[in-house]
């Protein structure tokens, strides 16, 4: 990862117009989530239940994975274990090579993004086509997804129109979303029919039945798993849940938290291969085992990738997903980044206001802002590449503040000094002592009376 969070944010959402559009589009998802949650009377009980189920699954992960493997094999699937990104890529490329597969259709899978599977396969001459519309857009643009649920949310329709004109041959100037979708769908249909293999992720893996569960709104995963003869599903080991009866809890929360829909358009439970086909399940560790052994951060593994914490985060909404520099952006990305991104995401826990909105909307009740705070205090995050280190001036300021705030007798003179210095601080321009802060903010005018003075006066009146 190069450049800082700020530099990446400025480079990816450059104009104020795009920033406002991004902010509004993401906030709209948050609004829909709120409306959908309000229509479910037992919403909070549902969140509690989901959190408890995930905690149970993580506590019993080893036995659930053994059971999942046994049942999946009994249902006719092949099960592979990948310790890291390299072994995932090797397993998948060997499976494809052994069957002479050259054309692959892929459904959205953040794990394969995380492991660089597309790059690995393309370097071996295998054509990989992402089939989720948003993923296809970012693939054609040579970019990364910027959101968990809406990968191309950072792009305007005009940009997508120009991209499709360049790459798919749509008419110049065409930017009608419906017509562009029709073009993309016709192109994808051809690729589905010609594919030798389908690669998917999985939203859940069910231990008792050895099934995997795929949730989409476009039906692309269903075509990718039922048309080609070979299906390879790559899933993180944390996806396993005990029983089929647990699924409704998560499915009720997932779609509502993601887009405000009562349920996603397509939910498929796949047990074993399709008739005449082959199913390979690749269970991937890639840092998850180590995170599981870390009591301070293991609950992040409960994430069901709904994107709600992104939609509510004031930093994500204004910075955009590419600012994070990791595959998973937003608050959950800032929590998983220092654990997964090979120690290169040390600055991400600082990309937060710690307002707690992310924890308040998380359907599985991950204490996201608490974890962000915990990461800030951890030596390994502070030492990691990309970690923001306080300047000597910042350290001196914090030491001064600690000195004054821990001595009540100094508060009144410090407040009087701050009043005198306020106009100087609020002065804009490159010579201002707070130039960097003021380039994006305004200092509010000071109230005529301090809080303590008001308190004394009102108590005096009472
Ligand atoms: S951390 Fe919670 S809110 Fe964020 S994506 Fe995961 S499940 Fe959704």
Q: Whose CA is nearest to atom 2 of ligand 1?
A: 362
Is pLDDT above 70 for 379?
no
b/e string for 410-439 if b means 16 or more Cβ within 10 A?
Answer: eeeeeeeeeeeeeeeeeeeeeeeeeeeebe
Task: Tell me, using a 6 A CB cutoff, whether residue 363 lines ligand 1.
Answer: yes
Q: How many CB atoms lie within 10 A of CB 296?
A: 13
Ligand 1 close to Cβ of residue 67 (< 6 A): no
The closest residue, in CA terms, to atom 8 on ligand 1 is 306
pLDDT at 367: 97
Residue 332 Cβ inside 6 Å of ligand 1? The answer reads: yes
Question: Residue 98 belongs to what H/E stretch?
Answer: helix 85-98
pLDDT digits (tens, 9 = 90+) for 164-213: 999 999 999 999 999 999 999 999 999 999 999 999 999 999 999 999 99
Which pLDDT tens digit goes with each residue over 345-366? 888 999 999 999 999 999 999 9
Distance 307 CA to ligand 1 centre (A): 6
Higher pLDDT, 130 or 433: 130
Whether ligand 1 lies within 6 angstroms of the CB of 336 is answered as no
Q: How far is CA 82 from CA 101, 123, 207, in A?
A: 21, 20, 18
Residue 358 alpha carbon, nearest atom of ligand 1: 3
Ligand 1 touching residue 300 (CB < 6 A): no
**Nearest-5° angle of CA 156, CA 158, CA 159?**
65
Supply the DSSP symbol for 296. T
Tokens 């390979």 sit on residue? 280
pLDDT digits (tens, 9 = 90+) for 259-292: 999 999 999 999 999 999 999 999 999 999 999 9
Q: How many CB atoms lie within 10 A of CB 442?
A: 9
Find where tokens 């959101």 sit: 147
Question: Ligand 1 pocket check: which of 145, 260, 339, 366 to mutate, most ligand atoms within 8 Å of Cβ?
Answer: 366
pLDDT at 16 over 70: no
Reported confidence tier of residue 380, pLDDT bands at 50, 70, 90? low
Which atom in ligand 1 lies closest to the alpha carbon of residue 300?
1
Q: Which residues contact 455 (CB under 8 A, 6 or more apart)?
A: none
Protein residue with least CA distance to atom 3, ligand 1: 362
Strands (E), 151-265: 197-200, 204-206, 211-216, 230-236, 240-241
Tokens of 353: 């206001």
State whether the beta carbon of 254 lies less than 6 angstroms from ligand 1. no
Pocket perturbation via mutation, ligand 1, pick of 260, 362, 367, 371 by most ligand atoms within 8 A of CB: 362
Looking at residue 68, its pLDDT comes to 98
pTM of the entire predicted model: 0.87
Rg (CA), the chain: 25
Average pLDDT of 93-98?
A: 98
């Amino acid at each position: 990862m190069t450049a800082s969070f700020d530099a990446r944010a400025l480079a990816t959402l450059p104009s104020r117009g795009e920033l406002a559009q991004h902010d509004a589009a993401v906030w709209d998802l948050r609004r829909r989530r709120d409306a959908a949650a309000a229509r479910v009377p037992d919403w909070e009980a549902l969140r509690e239940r989901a959190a408890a189920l995930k905690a149970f699954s993580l506590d019993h992960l080893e036995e659930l994975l053994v059971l999942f493997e046994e049942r999946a094999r009994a249902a006719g699937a092949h099960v592979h274990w990948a310790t890291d990104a390299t072994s995932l890529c090797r397993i998948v490329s060997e499976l494809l090579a052994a069957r002479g597969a050259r054309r692959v259709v892929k459904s959205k899978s953040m794990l394969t993004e995380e492991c660089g599977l597309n790059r690995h396969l393309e370097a071996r001459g295998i054509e990989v086509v992402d089939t989720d519309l948003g993923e296809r857009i970012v693939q054609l643009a040579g970019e990364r997804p910027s959101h968990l649920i809406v990968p191309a949310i950072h792009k305007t329709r005009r940009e997508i129109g120009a991209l499709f004109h360049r790459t798919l041959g749509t008419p110049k100037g065409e930017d009608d979303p419906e017509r562009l979708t029709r073009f993309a769908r016709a192109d994808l249909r051809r690729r589905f029919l010609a594919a030798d293999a389908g690669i998917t992720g999985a939203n859940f893996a069910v231990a008792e039945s050895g099934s995997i569960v795929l949730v989409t709104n476009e039906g692309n995963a269903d075509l990718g798993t039922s048309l080609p003869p070979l299906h390879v599903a790559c899933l993180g080991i944390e996806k396993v849940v005990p029983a089929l009866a647990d699924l409704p809890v998560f499915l009720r929360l997932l779609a509502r938290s993601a887009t405000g829909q009562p349920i996603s358009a397509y939910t498929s439970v796949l047990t074993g291969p399709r008739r005449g086909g082959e199913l390979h399940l690749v269970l991937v560790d890639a840092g998850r085992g180590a995170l599981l052994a870390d009591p301070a951060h293991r609950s992040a593994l409960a994430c069901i990738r709904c994107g709600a914490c992104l939609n509510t985060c004031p930093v994500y909404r204004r910075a955009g997903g590419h600012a994070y520099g990791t595959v998973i952006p937003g608050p959950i990305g800032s929590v998983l980044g220092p654990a997964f991104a090979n120690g290169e995401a040390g600055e991400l826990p600082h990309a937060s206001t710690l307002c707690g909105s992310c924890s308040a909307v998380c359907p599985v009740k991950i204490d996201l802002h608490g974890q962000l705070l915990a990461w800030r205090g951890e030596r390994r995050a502070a030492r990691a590449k990309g970690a923001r280190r306080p300047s000597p001036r910042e350290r001196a300021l914090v030491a001064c503040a600690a000195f004054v705030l821990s001595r009540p007798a100094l508060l009144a003179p410090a407040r009087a000094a701050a009043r005198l210095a306020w106009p100087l601080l609020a002065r804009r321009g490159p010579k201002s002592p707070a130039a960097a802060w003021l380039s994006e903010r305004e200092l509010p005018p000071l109230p005529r009376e301090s809080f303590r003075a008001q308190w004394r006066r009102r108590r005096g009146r009472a």
